[in-house]
Amino acid sequence: MVFIAEYNLSNHLSLFKERKINVDKNVPYYAKKAAVKTKHPLNNTYAKFLPECATTARRKGSGVYFNWSAEDAVLDVLAKDYERRDTGVRIFTDIRLFYDDIKYTPDAVILNAACSRKAKYIIEVKTTMRPEKGNRSPSKKYCILKIGALQALRNASALVKAGVVDEVLPKVVYAEFIPVKYDPARRMMRIVLMNPEVYSVGLDDVFKVDRELADIIYGILGGDRDDLLTR
C-alpha cells in the first residue's frame, strides 16, 4: 500500500458503518460549549486531503469561537455500551499521548491486557446539532465523518509508533442532538441525543493500523513540531 501526499486522501479513506447504539430516553443528556480554534493546526491538513470539505473545516478569520458539543454524552453512552457487551473491557477517555514531541489526545481508547487477544480500539467522537427538516445537507455529515476519520487515523498511527500498542482499530462515532433547554446551573444545554453511529475507519479497506501502516499514515498526517494540538 503506497500513498503519495499530493493525493486526495478522501479517495482512499474507508468508512464502514458497524451499528447504532441505542440511547436510553430516560437519562438526561447535555451538550456543553466547546472552544474551536479557527486556525487549528490540522486545518491545512483537512484542506489538503479533503478539498471537498475545506469550507466545512475552516472558517474565515482567526481566534476562537464556541460551538455546542455532545461529545461527553456520547462517550458516556459508548462506555456503558462496550461494558455491557464485554464485561472485561476498559475504555479510557483521558489519554494524553506524546510522540515526536507532539501531543495527541484521542477521544477514547479501549485497551486490553497485553496477553489478551481481544482487539484494541481508538475512537474519535463527532457530534453536531441536528438541522431542521428540509435543511439537512448530506455533505455536512459526509465531511464530519471524513474529518473524524483523518483524526482517528492520525491518533492511531501515533499510538502505534509510540509503542503503546502493536496494532489498533480506528473508529469514528457520529451523533446528532436536538437542543431542549439551557441549564444555567450546569452551564450546559439539555439535549435529546440521537442514536450514535459507530464506523470502522481504514485506508483502502484496511481497517487495522499496524506498524507498517502507522508509518505510512504518520508520514502523511503526522504533523510537525509546531503543532500543539491534534484536535
Distances (CA, A) of 27 to 23, 49, 70, 76, 190: 8, 39, 14, 11, 11
Q: In this predicted model, what pLDDT tens digit does every residue of 159-191 receive, in sequence order?
A: 999 988 899 999 999 999 999 999 888 899 999
Say if residues 205 and 14 touch (Cβ distance below 8 Å). Answer: yes
Q: What is the pTM of this model?
A: 0.84
Helix residue ranges per DSSP H, 14-137: 43-49, 54-57, 71-85
Sign of CA dihedral 187, 123, 127, 105: positive
CA–CA separation, 92 and 70 (whole Å): 18
Read off the amino acid at residue 168: V
What's residue 176's pLDDT?
Answer: 94
The string of pLDDT tens digits covering residues 12-42 is: 888 999 999 999 888 899 999 877 665 555 6
With a cut of 50, which residues of the chain have pLDDT below it?
1-6, 56-58, 225-231
Terminal alpha carbon distance of the chain: 27
